[in-house]
């Protein structure tokens, strides 16, 4: 692993354990053993590192979603992927939304990145709904997106069974939409 990737990985763990703005530079850099000078060389600032962590987290999750979609129920695969992700990374709510909340009013760049990432994910959900129905259904895509986001948040205060409940609700909505199309 190169030093930049090592710093991003270690910082992601530190941000997961604590928070973004409250985590000191020393704690963020400790897992990688990098110096403050190396942080600034690669990222320019702590906020630059936060952006890199969010970009990497989003990229990895998108790759996981893409791999899971092959040969599977496209909508159900969203929730299966979420459950596997939460089992591996812990159910602490959405890292992207936590970053947005912490940096709201402090970094428009971070807020804008999260907005773009969430919009891209919403489009991915819409594409999966279209694949399941054979037609676009923006309202259903929004409902399934909300179920996904809600399950992510709820798993942090309940248990992972909420993901299964959201998956079942999404399946019911898709089936109802298919019936209503006839």
pLDDT digits 0-9 by tens, 103-155: 999 999 999 999 999 999 999 999 999 999 999 999 999 999 999 999 999 99
CATH number at residue 47: 1.10.357.10
83 Cβ neighbours under 8 A, 6+ residues apart: 160, 163, 164, 167
Q: Say if residue 111 is exposed, middle or buried (CB neighbours under 10 Å; 0-12, 13-18, 19+).
A: middle
- Residue 118 and residue 145: Cα distance in Å, rounded? 10
Domains identified in the chain, total number: 1
Q: What is the pTM of this model?
A: 0.90
In this prediction, residue 181 has a pLDDT band, given cuts at 50, 70 and 90, of confident
- Full domain range(s) for residue 37: 3-181
């Amino acid at each position: 692993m190169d030093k930049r990737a090592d710093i991003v990985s270690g910082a992601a763990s530190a941000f997961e354990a604590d928070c973004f703005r409250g985590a000191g530079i020393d704690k963020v850099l400790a897992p990688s053993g990098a110096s403050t000078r190396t942080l600034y060389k690669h990222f320019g600032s702590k906020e630059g590192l936060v952006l890199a962590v969010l970009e990497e987290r989003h990229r990895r999750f998108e790759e996981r979603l893409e791999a899971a979609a092959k040969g599977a129920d496209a909508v159900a695969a969203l929730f299966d992927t979420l459950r596997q992700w939460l089992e591996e990374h812990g159910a602490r709510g959405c890292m992207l939304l936590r970053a947005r909340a912490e940096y709201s009013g402090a970094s428009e760049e971070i807020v804008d990145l999260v907005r773009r990432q969430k919009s891209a994910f919403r489009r991915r959900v819409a594409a999966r709904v279209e694949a399941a129905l054979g037609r676009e259904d923006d309202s259903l895509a929004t409902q399934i997106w909300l179920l996904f986001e809600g399950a992510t948040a709820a798993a942090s205060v309940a248990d992972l069974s909420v993901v299964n409940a959201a998956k079942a609700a999404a399946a019911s909505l898709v089936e109802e939409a298919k019936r209503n199309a006839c």
